[in-house]
């Protein structure tokens, strides 16, 4: 699937960008990272992996909200 290949490429780009030191980032650099992460999220959302992540996160949030009561 082409969507998975583009998502893997974007994931590698995000990891490489986030490994850089915080002091070396400009505001434009941070905004570009946010845009890339959003694009990665849009590509992963309709896939089985994206749905699995959504299910895990929703169960985690539900468990935390139940334990807070």
Residue 43 · residue 3 · CB < 8 Å:
yes
pLDDT of the chain along its 69 residues, tens only? 555 677 788 888 888 888 877 777 788 888 888 888 888 888 778 888 888 888 888 888 888 888 876
Number of domains in the chain: 1
Give me the pLDDT at residue 36, please: 87
Query: Torsion over CA of 34, 30, 28 and 22, rounded to 10 degrees?
Result: -170
Domain that holds residue 55: 2-67
Residue 53 · residue 44 · CB < 8 Å:
yes
Give me the pLDDT at residue 23, please: 76
Give me the pLDDT at residue 2, please: 56
In this prediction the pTM is 0.59
């Amino acid at each position: 699937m082409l969507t998975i290949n583009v998502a893997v490429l974007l994931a590698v780009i995000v990891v490489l960008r986030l490994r850089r030191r915080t002091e070396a980032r400009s505001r434009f650099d941070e905004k570009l990272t946010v845009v890339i992460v959003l694009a990665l999220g849009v590509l992963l959302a309709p896939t089985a992996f994206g749905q699995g992540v959504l299910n895990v996160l929703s169960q985690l949030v539900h468990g935390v909200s139940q334990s807070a009561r």
